A and B are shown apart, each in its own frame.
Chain A
Amino acid sequence: MNIIACVKQVPDTEAQIKVKADGSGIEDGQIKWVMNPYDEYGVEEALRLKEKNGGEVTIVSVGPARAMETVRTALAMGADKGVHVSDPALDNADAFVTASALAAVIKGMPYDIIFCGQRAIDDDSGQVGPMLAELLGIPQLTLVTKLEYAGTSVKVIRPIEGAQLSIETSLPCVVTAQKGLNEPRYASLPGIMKAKKKPVDVKNAAALGIATESKTKVAKTIPPPARPPGKIICGDDPAQKAAEVARLLREEAKVI
């Protein structure tokens, strides 16, 4: 099997996000960068498919120079090779430009199944997987929590509001991974050593022949609205405090 896993480097979930004073973005000096958690599920599923069925796992990432660490992390988990699209012209790439870059890389290689995270936890867009599928003209299965491979097709489980769908799709296809799909492995020490020698192809936008102008831009980044200070309900009696909360919810907040 030829399996591709797309990965993005994002700030760790514990990171404090501080907006720049001029609203032009976030302060990224103090941030610890990690592989997008949803992409980890994709990489893990790719490795499991390879281990069971044979084949090769290729990691593709679009991101600045530091994103190479994330490509290496995936290689250390067990992927075979990587492609890193790195170009300052892509620094503010939106989902469409990112998907175009991924599609341009992937078009040139054989593939049966492509994994993406269901969304990246930085921009929270969740668009790259479906857009990539569209640009490659193949089906997409988003928010997948279970996958069964059957040679020329896959069967997946995807939760929707109030139900679970079981869907079958012919390959090739794009699968976007949701938490629950698997438990990603940690890179082993020998894995980390081996990853250093695995091939990573670095490409720029010109080599891919893609337009780098984004369709959307974040005109301004703003901090979340401050919440008004709350009330701590005092007292010794839990019943009294509970009654007071219920009263406030009814009379002041009017939400019950």
Chain B
Amino acid sequence: MAKGVWIVAEQRDGALRKISFELASTARKLADQMGAEVSAVLLGSGIEGLAAQLGKYGVDKVYVGDSPALEPYITEAHAAAAAKIIKENDPAIVLLGASVQGKDLSARLAGKLATGLATDCIDVKIADGKLLAIRPMYAGKCFGEVITSATPQMASLRPNVFAMAENAKAAAVTKFDPAIDAAQIKSKILEVQKDTSGKVDLTEANVIVTGGRGMKGPEGFQILEELAEVLKGCVGASRAAVDAGWRLQKDQVGQTGKVVSPNLYIACGVSGAIQHLAGMSSSKYIVAINKDAEAPIFAKADYGVVDDLFKVVPELTGACKKLVG
């Protein structure tokens, strides 16, 4: 019978990503409710040394697939390796991150395992011995409670939502042969162009300062960059601002952009079209700054300022600077 809670850890350039610890901590919680063990799949090249870090967050066993073919991440290679070790061990639950890589891998893996997957979950629990996964649909206009009848029950977890909790375990390492057939790998990474700004992705940011149509132009975003800098956050944009060519597509928050849930979301000159609200309503705290008191964004805001953002934002940057030092 299928048992155990598994995670597929995510590493990049030889370092575990934060989502891996969120996965480990969440898996530990579920496993404790089921009286089961937590196992992690760790794939890459020369990455065995990372296993101990997973132990710190409650992983009992780490299955390490180490091969040059697993670095950098290629869907076909990682899916084949993960499917092999998962099939051999028959876990009840498999969790991955809903990061770009995790979404790519989890769907392929669910296909290989012919099972069900709940994508981008914001909560997971055990109900009647089964995984109950809660996830936004329609970009958060409603939520679904998803149950998978096949095994393993798979879910990908939204980054930045699940708490990390230290809970030291042995993290016994088992190496396995990922048995990758080079002829089956049809994709090749030609180039990695790193974003040199040093900013994290919107989906992983703790603070997002977003500008909308009210920014009036690309140069208006400079004051948002300054506020984001002080708060160690990222700058986002509404669809209107992206479609106008003021900001890059990767900055777009909303139903046809990124769905984000930072601790703090500051919306400046954003009216709050339903498709934008869908993408940011699950933020923990929302501040809205807009001249128009009737703007729908105020209905979602914890703190609202009805005023000219070009006057308020620089003052807010100054006030925050004083507080955070």
Is B one of A's binding partners?
yes
Q: Which residues of A contact B (CB under 8 A)?
A: 11, 13-17, 19, 26, 37-38, 94-96, 99, 121-131, 133-135, 138-143, 145, 155, 159-170, 173, 178-180, 214-224, 227-228, 230-233, 238-239, 241-243, 245-250, 253, 255-256
Q: How long is the Cα–Cα vector from A139 to B104 in the complex, in angstroms?
A: 11
Please indicate the chain A residues that have their CB under 8 angstroms from the CB of B15 in the complex. none
B107 touches A127 (CB 8 A): yes
| CB-defined contacts of B1 to chain A, threshold 8 Å | none
Asked whether B3 is an interface residue with its Cβ less than 8 Å from the other chain, the reply is no
Q: Which of B40-48, B58-66, B140-148 binds A?
A: B140-148
Tell whether A167 pairs with B285 under 8 Å between CB atoms, given A13-B256, A131-B110, A216-B116.
no
Are the CB atoms of A166 and B117 closer together than 8 Å? no
Q: How many Å from the CB of A31 to the closest CB on chain B? A: 10
Is B284 part of the binding interface, using a Cβ–Cβ cutoff of 8 Å? yes
B 175-210 binary contact with A (CB < 8 Å = 1; else 0): 000000000001111111111000111011001000
**A residues near B166, Cβ cutoff 8 Å:** none
Q: Which 7 A-B pairs have the closest CB atoms?
A: A215-B116, A134-B111, A216-B116, A242-B315, A130-B107, A246-B319, A161-B201
Shortest Cβ gap from B257 to chain A (Å)? 7
Which of B21-29, B30-38, B85-93, B301-309 lines the interface with chain A? B301-309
Which residues of chain A come closer than 8 Å to B255, judged between CB atoms? 13, 121
Contact with A along B80-122 (1 / 0, CB 8 A): 0000000000000000000111011011101110111111100
**B57 in the interface (beta carbon within 8 A):** no
List, in ascending order, chain B residues with CB within 8 A of A232's CB: 298, 304-306
Other-chain residue from B117, B145, B304, B306 in contact with A127 (beta carbon distance below 8 A): B117
Q: Are A248 and B116 in contact (CB under 8 A)?
A: no
Structural contact, A215 and B75, CB atoms closer than 8 A: no
Asked, given contacts A131-B108, A243-B315, whether A168 binds B188 with beta carbons under 8 Å apart, the answer is yes
Is B116 within 8 A of A126, CB to CB?
Answer: no
Neighbouring A residues of B308 by C-beta, 8 Å: 238
Q: What are 12 pairs between A and B in contact, CB < 8 Å?
A: A17-B141, A125-B119, A145-B249, A159-B100, A161-B99, A166-B190, A167-B189, A219-B145, A230-B303, A231-B302, A242-B313, A249-B264
Q: For chain A, what secondary structure do more than half of its interface residues adopt (helix, strand, loop), or is it mixed? A: mixed
Interface of B toward A, CB cutoff 8 Å = 75-76, 79, 99-101, 103-104, 106-108, 110-112, 114-120, 132, 135-150, 186-195, 199-201, 203-204, 207, 231, 249-250, 252, 254-257, 259, 263-264, 273-275, 281-282, 284-287, 298, 300-308, 311-313, 315-316, 318-320, 322-324
Query: B99, B189, B273: which contacts A165 (Cβ < 8 A)?
Result: B189
Min CB–CB distance B79 → chain A (angstroms): 8
- Write the chain A residue with the least CB distance to B138: A17
**Residues of the B chain whose Cβ atoms lie less than 8 Å from the Cβ of A143:** 100, 104
Minimum CB–CB distance from B237 to chain A (whole Å) comes to 12
B107 touches A227 (CB 8 A): no
Could you tell me the distance between the alpha carbons of A238 and B311 in the complex, rounded to whole angstroms? 6
State the total of A-B contacts with C-beta under 8 angstroms: 267
CA distance A248 to B53 in the complex (A): 36
Q: How far is the CA of A162 from the CA of B13 in the complex (A)?
A: 13
- Given contacts A17-B141, A134-B112, A249-B303, is CB(A165)–CB(B191) below 8 Å? yes
Q: Please, how many angstroms separate the alpha-carbon atoms of A211 and B313 in the complex?
A: 56
Q: Is the CB of A246 within 8 A of B193?
A: no
Contact B108 A133 (CB under 8 A): yes
Given A13-B256, A94-B116, A127-B110, are A162 and B303 also a contact pair (CB < 8 Å)? no
Known contacts A130-B104, A134-B108, A250-B323; A224/B143 CB under 8 A: yes
Q: For A155, what are the chain B residues with a Cβ–Cβ distance below 8 Å? A: 190
Q: How far is the CB of A111 from chain B (nearest CB, A)?
A: 15
Complex contacts, B207 vs chain A, CB 8 Å: 255-256
Of A122, A178, A233, A253, the contact of B137 (CB 8 Å cutoff)? A122
Which residues from A are CB-within-8-Å of B252? 179
**Given A140-B75, A215-B116, A216-B117, residue A13 in contact with residue B189 (CB < 8 A):** no
In the docked arrangement, what's the CA distance between A232 and B294, Å?
12
With a cutoff of 8 Å between Cβ atoms, the chain B residues found around residue A173 in the complex are 186
What residue of chain A has the Cβ atom nearest to residue B254's Cβ?
A13
Task: For the complex formed, measure the closest distance between the CB of B114 and the CB atoms of chain A, giving whole angstroms.
Answer: 7
Indicate if the CB atoms of A131 and B111 lie closer than 8 Å.
yes
State whether A242 and B110 are in contact (beta carbons under 8 Å apart), knowing that A94-B116, A124-B136 are contacts in the complex.
no
Known: A26-B142, A96-B110, A124-B137. A162 touches B201 (CB 8 A): yes
In angstroms, Cα B108 to Cα A126, docked, is: 11
Q: A142-B104, A170-B186, A218-B146 are in contact. Are A121 and B302 (CB under 8 A)?
A: no
Q: Which residues of B sit under 8 angstroms from A179, Cβ to Cβ? A: 249, 252, 256-257
Once A122-B138, A162-B195, A216-B147 are accepted as A-B contacts, the answer to whether A140 and B190 lie under 8 Å apart by CB is: no
List of A residues within 8 angstroms of B143 by Cβ: 221-224
Interface pair A230/B302, CB less than 8 Å apart: yes
Residues A139 and B148 in contact in the complex (CB < 8 Å), given A161-B201, A215-B116, A245-B303: no
| Distance between B162 CB and nearest chain A CB, rounded to angstroms | 17
A245's contact among B104, B259, B281, B305, by CB below 8 Å, is which?
A: B305
A248 to B301, CA, bound (A): 13
Contact A96 B114 (CB under 8 A): yes
Query: Is the CB–CB distance between A245 and B319 below 8 Å?
Result: yes
